[in-house]
Amino acid sequence: MMAEALARQHRIALTGNDAVAYAVKQANVDVISAYPITPQTFVVETLSRYVNDGELNAKYINVESEHSALSAVIGASLAGARTFTATASQGLAYMWEALYAASGLRLPIVMALAARALSAPINIHNDHSDFFGMRDAGWIMFNGEEAQETYDLTIMAFKIAEDPRVLLPVVVSYDGFIVSHAITNFYALNDDVVKEFLGVRTTGPKIDPDNPRSYGVLALQDSYFEFKRQQYEAMENARQVIQEVFKKYGEISGRNYRPLKEYMTSDAETCIVAMGSTVGTARHAVKNLREKGEKVGVVGILQYRPWPVKEAEQLFSRFKRIIVMEKVMSPGARAGPVYEDITATLYPNYNVKMIDFIYGLGGRDIPAQGVIDIYKRGKELADKGKTDKAYFYGVRGE
Amino acid sequence: MRMVKTSRIVEIRWHGRGGQGVVLANQLIGMALFEEGKNIQTFPDFGPERTGGPVRGYTRFSEDPIDIHSSVYEPDILAVIDPYLAEDPSVYVGLKPEGVAVVNSAKNPGDLKKKLGLNVKTLGVVDAARISKEVFGAYVFNTPVLGGLVRLTGIVRLETLEKLFLNRFPGRVGELNVKMLKRGYEEVAAQ
Say yes or no: ipTM exceeds 0.90.
Answer: yes
The C-alpha atoms of residue B153 and residue B148 are separated, in whole angstroms, by: 9
Residues of B in contact with A184 (CB under 8 A): 39-42, 66
Inter-chain touch B42–A183, beta carbons under 8 Å: yes
Name the minimum distance, in Å, from the CA of B95 to any CA of chain A: 16
Q: What is the mean pLDDT of each run of 10 residues along chain A (398 residues)?
A: 91 98 98 97 98 98 98 98 98 98 98 98 97 98 98 98 98 98 98 98 95 94 98 98 98 98 98 98 97 98 98 96 98 96 91 96 97 98 95 95
Summarize pLDDT for B132-184 with one digit per residue, the tens.
999 999 999 999 999 999 999 999 999 999 999 999 999 999 999 999 999 99
Bridge partners (DSSP) of residue A303 are A142
B40, B66, B69: residue with CB nearest A13: B40
Helices (H), ranges, chain A? 3-7, 16-26, 41-52, 66-78, 89-94, 96-104, 129-133, 147-162, 191-198, 224-253, 278-291, 309-316, 337-346, 368-383
A181, A183, A283: residue with CB nearest B40: A183
Interface test with B, best of A185, A278, A288 (most B CBs within 10 A): A185
B156 touches chain A (CB under 8 A): no
A184, A363, A366: residue with CB nearest B40: A184
Collect all residues with Cβ–Cβ distance below 8 Å to A87 and sequence separation of at least 6: A34, A35, A37, A40, A66, A69, A70, A95, A111, A112, A113, A114
Residues of A in contact with B67 (CB under 8 A): 280-281, 283-284
B117 touches chain A (CB under 8 A): no
pLDDT of residue A72: 98
Q: Could you tell me which CATH number the domain at A260-392 has?
A: 3.40.50.920
Residue B2 has pLDDT above 80, yes or no: no
Note which residues in 34-53 of chain B have CB less than 8 A from chain A. 34, 39-44, 46
Inter-chain touch B66–A281, beta carbons under 8 Å: no
Q: What is the DSSP letter of A243?
A: H
Inter-chain touch B71–A177, beta carbons under 8 Å: no
pLDDT of residue B48: 63
Domain with CATH 3.40.50.970 in chain A: 3-253
B34, B66, B70: residue with CB nearest A365: B70
Architecture of domain A3-253: 3-Layer(aba) Sandwich (3.40)
The C-alpha atoms of residue A103 and residue A98 are separated, in whole angstroms, by: 9
CA dihedral (A121, A124, A127, A131) in degrees, to 10, reads: 100
pLDDT of residue B5: 43
Name the minimum distance, in Å, from the CA of A382 to any CA of chain B: 26
Contacts of A188-193 spanning 24+ positions with Cβ under 8 A: A188/A9, A188/A10, A188/A12, A188/A19, A188/A22, A188/A23, A188/A26, A188/A151, A189/A8, A189/A9, A189/A26, A189/A155, A189/A252, A189/A253, A190/A8, A190/A9, A190/A10, A191/A26, A193/A8, A193/A9, A193/A252
Residue B108 has pLDDT above 60, yes or no: yes
